[in-house]
Structure formats: C-alpha cells, structure tokens
Amino acid sequence: LFGNIAKSDGFCIDFIFYRRAADENEDEVLIRNHDLGVNDFSMEEVAQLYRPSFLDPGRKTVYTAAMGLDQNQHEIRRCTTKEYYHLTGSTVYAKKLQQEKDAAGITAIESATPTSKTARNISFLRFADHLLSNMDRSFAFYGFRTAKHRFNLYQGKQRAPEMMVNMLLNGGAKYNRKNRF
C-alpha cells in the first residue's frame, strides 16, 4: 500500500510503502503448531545437517563467530571495524577528500574555525565572522560535485552488511583463497 510519501535528497528518491498488519490469530496459530524443542535434535543430526555458529559482537570487531561444534578444531571468523569501514568505501573517500582539502586550502580554513559551542557572545561572533568570511570558498569546495561521492558512500553503507553476512556464512574472500582475485 503506497503511503503517499516520497523523500529525496536531490540525488536519490525513497518511496514509503505500508504493509497490512497480520491478524493476531494467524500468529498465535503458527506459534502453537510449532512444538520443536532442543530435545528433538541429536548432536549427530545437528553436526550433519546444520552449521552451528556462535556469534559475539565486540568493540573492535563488528562480530566474532565460532563456526562448528568441534572443541579442538573450529573456525573463528571475524570482521573488524576497520574492515567494515573499508567495505563501505569511507576510508578511501576520506583520504581522497583530505588530499583535495589540502590542495584547495580548505583544511587551513576548517582548522582555524573557532568553536560555535559557547555561551559567550564575543566567541560566537568570532565564529560567525570566520564562517561568513570563508563562506564562498567553502561553498565552492562543497558544491554539487560531492553528491556523487555521497551517493557512492550511501551505496557502500548498504552493501557492507550484505558482504559481512557473506563473510560470516560462506567465508567470503577473506577465508577462501578460491574467492580471491
């Protein structure tokens, strides 16, 4: 059901759709008809038919997973936050953007900008004066040409979780030498 809402940031467009809510009775019937429990599976059956994995989120890693049931020989798969940002493409873009800022002189302007988070009028007026005096150079640098890069970053953020799931479930190129270029 179309929600009569379309949002755009000037480069891409989102349409809002609504889904009809399922009846509570249908859900209750489905839950009642499933009577499987842990005791319904044997360890041999689980080892033969399934691939058990134990997932642990972390601070420096997006996830760490232990694959398999063997205590002595199981595979550890992880995706670090550094790898995640590389998958999104943001590290390459940030490096390229910094080089462009240095060449255009924007880095010096941004580093000399006084803070806007102040309660003193004089400090805020310095910030406003600095901002207004460098507005033309900032607008020229951050013009329409950055829209393509923002869209590519948006695509990378959408693609990265899918690639991380592929790394977790199938090993990806990181764990399978056959999948490497």
Span 54-84, pLDDT tens digits: 888 887 888 888 888 877 877 888 888 888 8
The rounded distance, in Å, linking the Cα atoms of 4 and 126 is 45
For the record, the structure tokens of 7 come out as: 């949002």
Closest Cα partner for 78 from 179, 181, 172? 172
3-state secondary structure of 63: strand
Kind of pairing between the strands at 53-56 and 61-67: antiparallel
Each residue's pLDDT tens digit, 119-176: 889 999 999 999 999 999 998 998 888 888 889 999 999 988 888 888 888 876 666 6
In this structure, are residues 85 and 91 in contact, taking their beta carbons and an 8 Å threshold? Answer: yes
